[in-house]
Structure 1
Amino acid sequence: MVVAQSVSADPSDQTPFGTPMPHDRDSCPVCGMFPARYPDWIATVLYRDGHADHFDGAKDMFKYLLDMEKYASGRKQQDILRIGVTDYYATARIDARTALYVAGSDVLGPMGHDLIPHLDRFDADEFMKDHKGQRLLTFQEVTMELLLALDRGEIPSQ
């Protein structure tokens, strides 16, 4: 069961990036987990009508975005206002579209192997060195093939 979330008028419920925080009962539309239990991994898709879907990591957010027919029936990409992910080092919400993602590291998220978001190239490069990252990707480079490989603990080279 997916619990709908709408944007609160209370500024304390918003992140600096402008996406709402999930409430305790909001569940990830991809896996059913409760993102509020994993604050360092939260990703959010915010629609123009105020509806928000929350995820327990970037990997599930990308699965949702790449298969909206399955996970967001009736919703459209052009209705999305903001997409936020939690930056690994700052643990602050950043723009998912401009973030860089590291795949194949020794850091596991709530759903296992995940894409680890970073604000900039410097942080992403440092993370790759420190955590044995295998691949650096932009938002546009993430594919369903890659996400399914992560689920299997694999990292496709290209």
Structure 2
Amino acid sequence: MKPFFYLGYWLLLAGACQSPASSDQARQDHPSAAGPTKGQEENYDCRHCGMPSDEFPEWQASLVANGQTYWFCSPRCMFLFRQNPKSGLTAVSRLEVSDYYERKKIEAQKAYFVRGGDVPGPMGPDLVPHATRAAAEDFMKEHQGKEILTFAQITPEIIQKLTQP
């Protein structure tokens, strides 16, 4: 019994003696989901689901609100977060999505989104963004898409349908 007591004591002591620098380093290696803090690099984890958005460049989306950039792994996650009254978003000044083929950032309000088809997003069914209507039409034909939507046509009901099996 005594050996276990001493082992526990030494483990507790070793944990208490851990230097503050190493815990600061741990915080830098794993930034919070709330975004960057002073002195940290920007956090690209999806604000809705937590997935690393920078691992999905063809899907990555972002919005700027409250003076902060929020990253998302997909348009679907961005729309879900934006619709959530608990997100605390006010004064959204910019929304961007990635053109699926070109992988370049485009204004979400100018994008054409293909709903349906055989290309799932990082979290399942999604809206596939394109910079031009022609690119959206090509994608829709090639991947059995159901319809092309503009930003203004995307409703909370459409987004909710994407999340249902």
Alignment TM-score > 0.5, same fold? yes
- How many Å separate the matches in 2 of 1:26 and 1:122? 30
Task: Please identify which structure carries the higher strand content.
Answer: 1
Q: Distance in 1 between matches of 2:132 and 2:161?
A: 25
Q: Within 1, Cα distance between the matches of 2:66 and 2:98?
A: 21
- Aligned-partner SS, 2:148: strand
Unaligned runs of 5+ in 2: 1-31
Which 10-residue stretch deviates more, 32-41 or 96-105?
Answer: 32-41
Is the CA contact 1:3–1:27 (under 8 Å) kept in the aligned structure 2? no
Residue 45, structure 1, aligned to residue 63, structure 2: yes
Alpha-carbon RMSD? 1.9
List aligned pairs for 1:6-155, cutoff 5 A.
23=42, 25-47=43-65, 49=67, 51-67=68-84, 69-70=85-86, 72-73=87-88, 75-76=89-90, 79-153=91-165
Structure number, greater radius of gyration: 2
Runs of 4+ in 1 over 2 A off after TM superposition: none
Equivalent AA in structure 1 for residue 60 of structure 2: I
- 1:4-50 per-position Cα deviation (integer Å, ceiling 9, x unaligned): 248xxxxxxxxxxxxxxx94x4322211212122122110001362x
* Matched AA of 2:135: D
Percent identity of paired positions between Structure 1 and Structure 2? 34
Unpaired runs of 5+ residues, structure 1, are: 7-21, 154-158
Structure 2 length-normalised TM: 0.72
String of CA shifts for 1:45-69, please: whole Å, max 9, x gaps: 01362x11000000111112222x2
The residue number in structure 2 matching 1:11 is none
Contact 2:73 2:122 in 1 (8 A): yes
| In 1, Cα distance between equivalents of 2:58 and 2:127 | 13
Question: Please, what TM-score do these two structures have when normalized by structure 1?
Answer: 0.75
Equivalent residues, number: 131
Q: Distance in 2 between matches of 1:83 and 1:5?
A: 19
Secondary structure at the aligned position of 1:101 is classed as strand
